[in-house]
Amino acid sequence: MKKTILVIDDSPFVVNQIKEITAHTEYEVIGHAKTGEAGIEIFKELHPDIITLDIIMPGIDGMETAKEILNLDADANILMLSSLCDNGTLEEVKSIGLKYLLPKPIEAGLLLATFELLTKR
Q: How far is the CB of 84 from other proteins (least distance, A)?
A: 4
Please choose, from the candidates 104, 100, 98, the residue with its C-alpha nearest in 3D space to the C-alpha of residue 115. Answer: 100
- Contacts to other proteins by CB under 8 A: 10-14, 16, 20, 56-58, 82-89, 103-105
> Nearer Cβ to other proteins, position 55 or 76?
55
Q: Is 9 exposed, middle or buried (0-12, 13-18, 19+ CB in 10 A)?
A: buried
Please choose, from the candidates 118, 70, 120, the residue with its C-alpha nearest in 3D space to the C-alpha of residue 96. Answer: 70
Q: How far is the CB of 20 from other proteins (least distance, A)?
A: 8
Q: How far is the CB of 22 from other proteins (least distance, A)?
A: 15
> Nearer Cβ to other proteins, position 4 or 11?
11
| Whole-angstrom distance, CA of residue 105 vs CA of residue 97 | 24
